[in-house]
Structure 1
Amino acid sequence: MRPKARGDDGSYSEPMTTAHPAYAQLRQVTPIAAVMLENNPGMMTLDGTNTWILRAPGREECVVIDPGDADEEHLLRVAAVGPVALTLITHRHGDHTGGVERFAALTGSPVRSVDPRFRTHTDAGLPDGELIEEVGLAIRVLRTPGHTKDSTSFVIEGEGSVLTGDTILGRGTTVLDASDGDLGDYLASLRALIDLGTGRAVLPGHGPDLPDLQTVAQQYLSHREERLDQVRAALEVLGADAGPRAVVEHVYSDVDQSLWPVAEQSVRVQLEYLRR
């Protein structure tokens, strides 16, 4: 069942029949956006990867965001909700792109991404600010690098909801990829999301949808600034040349040590930012 209208607080007037996490089910979240949750839970994927299906009212064809990993059952379920007119990729990580080639073969859909490795049946990238008009939908491209260099969000025009990939998650915080993530870019991306204004639902790459993007993005920004202050303070104690592991042991002493390798990745990116 689809909700009829969004209220001022970002909620919808009709309750959904299912709630996150709901595996192997098409769960309608907004009048346009539904989600199919892949059954690939883990430390980095939370409950699993959210594959988003966008469909304008009264239209059969849809647009898919992030087919997910190379999980045949999941890909078949998503393909079955088609016809799929277009597939868009939020970023390069395998839990979002591992199934791209197979999904394109199943659906015949062109696949557009910033990273040319994932483009299929098209050479088109995702330039910042482009308005993609497809099967009755208007989707605005908003480049939001930081988690990875190619990270991209999508604004559903009219409705106002924002697909954030891994830039903002449904719970917890985002780990910046130490290979091409950049904290300066990430802070700028959070500010760009804040500037979109209030009342926009968050449709994330992992975790549950959230009612207000501006509030969550501001919380993410405050958290990052607080962590930066902690890293600065750690360097004053440990010395300016302290490595990521030493900083993690100092700053994250109250965190389960099983999470330290993940924290070390973020600290590495923070140190690069502070030392530039």
Structure 2
Amino acid sequence: MRVALTLLTHGHPDHAAGAARFAELTGTRVRALDPALRLGDEGLAAGDVITTGGLELRVVPTPGHTGDSLSFHLPADQAVLTGDTILGRGTTVVAHPDGRLGDYLDSLRRLRSLTVDDGVHTVLPGHGPVLDDAQGVVEYYLAHRAHRLAQVETAVEDGYRTPGQVVAHVYADVDRSLWPAAELSVRAQLDYLEEHGLI
């Protein structure tokens, strides 16, 4: 067994910073959506099918966490590699300004269609344990986002105007060490609500 290819789900340092060294050690190319992260001539794009070592992966665009987020569908395993689009525990930050909530919701719907139409049962996240109920996880993520969005909308209606104020109100029961990440998501939620004329 040897590493044949390095694929990046997105460019955040905890996923991409070691890619060049890993590629050097394994003698592989690095393929990514973002040209700045590639080593070699080939990138990744929606609909690409990659076959290597008898394994088929289909590239699924899942922007939202970041603008360059991708997932990889493994049809033979009825699984999807999600990077940070879906995590093994907790929920994902929509990393404003690169991440956009509308894109993220569309990506979750795209993943849901994989569970409904393509038989995907397993989520292989970039962080945390394997998840065996892919459809249940996607539905939970969609419901969680809808709930948080409603909370943010209500907070704004109640006079909480700045992202920091909204975080302190909506995420009061969340460990304060997570508030900086929560603020990124709140900024994305506020942008979404403004774009849709809801605030």
Q: TM-score, normalised by structure 2?
A: 0.92
Deviations 1:66-103, CA, capped at 9 Å, x for gaps = xxxxxxxxxxxxxxxx2x21110000011111111111
Deviations 1:49-71, CA, capped at 9 Å, x for gaps = xxxxxxxxxxx3xxxxxxxxxxx
Q: Considering fraction of residues, name the structure with more helix.
A: 2
Who is 2:15 aligned against? 96
- Among 119, 123, 139, the alignment partner of 1:218 is 139
Who is 1:143 aligned against? 61
Take 2:125 and 2:76, find their aligned partners in 1: how far apart are those partners?
19
1:234 equivalent to 2:155? Answer yes
Q: Post-superposition shift, 1:255?
A: 2.3
- Among 117, 125, 130, the alignment partner of 1:209 is 130
Q: Post-superposition shift, 1:199?
A: 4.9
In structure 2, relative to structure 1, the CA distance for the partners of 1:133 and 1:172 (3 Å cut) is same
Q: Give structure 2 stretches of 5+ with no counterpart.
A: none
RMSD: 1.2
Alignment of 1:58-137 (within 5 A): 60=1, 82=2, 84-120=3-39, 122-137=40-55
- Among 158, 183, 196, the alignment partner of 2:76 is 158
8 Å CA contact 2:70–2:82 kept in 1: the answer is yes
Alignment of 1:45-64 (within 5 A): 60=1
1:266 equivalent to 2:160? Answer no
Take 1:106 and 1:208, find their aligned partners in 2: how far apart are those partners?
26
Take 2:63 and 2:129, find their aligned partners in 1: how far apart are those partners?
22
Q: Quick one: percent identity of the two aligned structures?
A: 57
8 Å CA contact 2:101–2:188 kept in 1: the answer is yes
Take 1:149 and 1:199, find their aligned partners in 2: how far apart are those partners?
24
Take 2:193 and 2:42, find their aligned partners in 1: how far apart are those partners?
35
Who is 1:190 aligned against? 108
Who is 1:179 aligned against? 97
Task: Please identify the structure whose Cα radius of gyration is greater.
Answer: 1
Who is 1:79 aligned against? none
Take 2:185 and 2:120, find their aligned partners in 1: how far apart are those partners?
30
Take 1:268 and 1:232, find their aligned partners in 2: how far apart are those partners?
12
Who is 2:163 aligned against? 244
How many correspondences in the alignment?
192
Return the letter of the residue paired with 2:178: L
- Which SS does the other structure have where 1:158 is aligned? helix
- Which SS does the other structure have where 1:215 is aligned? helix
Return the letter of the residue paired with 1:214: Q
Take 1:236 and 1:175, find their aligned partners in 2: how far apart are those partners?
23
Q: TM-score, normalised by structure 1?
A: 0.67
- Which SS does the other structure have where 2:109 is aligned? helix
Q: Give structure 1 stretches of 5+ with no counterpart.
A: 1-59, 61-81
* Larger RCO (CA within 8 A; separation ≥ 6): 2
